[in-house]
Amino acid sequence: MDGVILSRGGPHRRPRGTAQAEDKAMESSRWLRWIMRWGGGIAVAVGLAGICLTTEPEPRHLPLQLLNDVLWLCQAGLCGQFLIRLLASRRTGQIRAYLASTSGLVDAIAALAVPLAFAGGARAPDLWLVGIVWVLKPINAAPGLRQLNRVLVREARSLGSVACLFVIILFLAATALYVLERAGQPAEFGSLPQSLWWAVVTLTTTGYGDVIPKSIGGRLIASAVMIFGLGIFGLWTGIMATGFAAEARRQDFLGNWELVAKVPFLHSLNASGMAMLAQSLRRLDVPANTILFRRGQDGDCMYFVVSGEVEVDVLPSPVRLGPGNFFGEMALLGGGKRSATVSTIRPATLLVLDVMDFRTLAAHHTELAAEVEAEANRRATGGPAPS
């Protein structure tokens, strides 16, 4: 078989009463986690829809009093969620850290904004306009926003340079159009602020078309401004796209490094070897009940299990592998045939090391090839894991 590693821990039994108590606690905590995860989102979605309906002169779908009751119920849910998180952070001694975090700040604003406005004398329906701050709640559930923050910090200099160029072109164009067009179009270019508005609209290439230069010089400047606008926003887009790609590679590298560092037979690699290996691995997300390869196929890669579970069809009984295990390493040594069929039991995330990447690594780090060959020989001669 292609390098199966069995878990060392065997099955064990719990006392019946303990098992029932643990199962009950897990079930209740599962419901609590579900409420904490989705309850706030449901309250925000319903609340924002209700706020929109309260601004209708005559709400057609729900009576105003019913809308008011629904919105207060949503507010109570957000306050309850904030209170639960406060109590949980207090038990762990992290209440100050929670309140100082973005998550705690957003929770506090969503929970307290409407009650404070009510205490200050605001009443429905205008009171619920304050509740528009509920739209901030998804920030806590959007990890991509944290990634965006890291990209903005890393690319601050480049983005700042493009922004500086934007401002320079903006003021030069506005001043030039003010000088050239103020006599012919005093209503549109009669002051520098008016010309600045035109320059912003033109530089962002969203011009209205109803305010245009009439002089030849003004039109030439406007043409140049539109072209510069395309270039500037192209630069911004390129910088952000490159930053996101670099951040994604960095996150993948860190995740891969943590995984390969847990594989025993890779411990002989030095830091540069581990880094090369982490960069060579590619991520593969596989749904449940998917066959990764079949017995008899040519082997061209090995796999590391990051999450989920796979089943290796071997005799006398199939073997299941979880996070931290690996399989298929025999393919790295000679391109032999697969000796087992491997499929996913649950949705799994795998890291794949191709033969060509392995050969490149082995050329720079001979200890890696030696370790893989030693592991294969150990299993072939009756090691603890079938081979």
- Please give the pLDDT value at position 159: 92
Asked if the model's pLDDT at residue 17 lies above 90, the reply is: no
Task: Compare 175 and 381 and report the one with higher pLDDT.
Answer: 175
Asked if the model's pLDDT at residue 264 lies above 70, the reply is: no
- Residue 313 in 3-state DSSP? strand
Q: For residue 13, which amino acid is it?
A: R
Task: Compare 76 and 328 and report the one with higher pLDDT.
Answer: 76
Most confident of 21-35, 213-227, 300-314: 213-227
Q: 10-24, 72-86, 117-131 — which is least confidently predicted?
A: 10-24
What pLDDT band is residue 171 in, cutting at 50, 70 and 90? very high
Asked if the model's pLDDT at residue 179 lies above 70, the reply is: yes
The closest of 207, 329, 347, 373 to 286, measured between CA atoms, is: 347
What pLDDT band is residue 10 in, cutting at 50, 70 and 90? very low
Q: For residue 353, which amino acid is it?
A: L
> For the chain, what percent of residues have pLDDT higher than 70?
81
- Please give the pLDDT value at position 112: 93
Does a cis peptide bond (omega within 30 degrees of 0) precede residue 316? yes
What pLDDT band is residue 34 in, cutting at 50, 70 and 90? low
pLDDT mean over 42-51: 89
The span from the CA of 342 to the CA of 304, in Å, is 13
* φ/ψ (deg, to 5) at 298: -70, 135
The span from the CA of 332 to the CA of 370, in Å, is 12
- Residue 290 in 3-state DSSP? coil
- Please give the pLDDT value at position 296: 83
Full set of structural domains in the chain with CATH: 21-141 (1.20.120), 156-248 (1.10.287.70), 264-380 (2.60.120.10)
Most confident of 36-40, 308-312, 317-321, 365-369: 308-312
- Orientation angle between helical segments 355-364 and 271-280, nearest 10 degrees: 160
pTM: 0.59
pLDDT mean over 51-79: 83
For residues 44 and 135, the answer to whether their CB atoms sit within 8 Å is: yes
- Please give the pLDDT value at position 263: 65
- Please give the pLDDT value at position 238: 93
Q: 16-20, 131-135, 146-150, 196-200 — which is least confidently predicted?
A: 16-20
Token pair of 239, please? 């910088």
- Please give the pLDDT value at position 267: 67
H-helix segments, 191-318: 192-203, 216-260, 271-280
pLDDT in tens, 331-380: 666 656 787 889 999 999 888 888 888 888 778 777 777 776 776 666 55
Q: How far is CA 139 from the centre of its chain?
A: 12
DSSP-derived pairing of the beta strands 291-293 and 341-354: antiparallel
pLDDT mean over 37-42: 76
Asked if the model's pLDDT at residue 96 lies above 80, the reply is: yes
Paired with 284 in beta bridges are 350
What pLDDT band is residue 6 in, cutting at 50, 70 and 90? very low
- Please give the pLDDT value at position 168: 95
Q: 51-60, 113-122, 186-195, 295-304 — which is least confidently predicted?
A: 51-60
- Please give the pLDDT value at position 163: 93
Asked if the model's pLDDT at residue 298 lies above 50, the reply is: yes
pLDDT in tens, 100-127: 888 889 999 999 999 999 999 988 888 9
What pLDDT band is residue 12 in, cutting at 50, 70 and 90? very low
Most confident of 270-274, 276-280, 381-385: 276-280
- Please give the pLDDT value at position 113: 93
Task: Compare 279 and 141 and report the one with higher pLDDT.
Answer: 279
- Please give the pLDDT value at position 177: 93
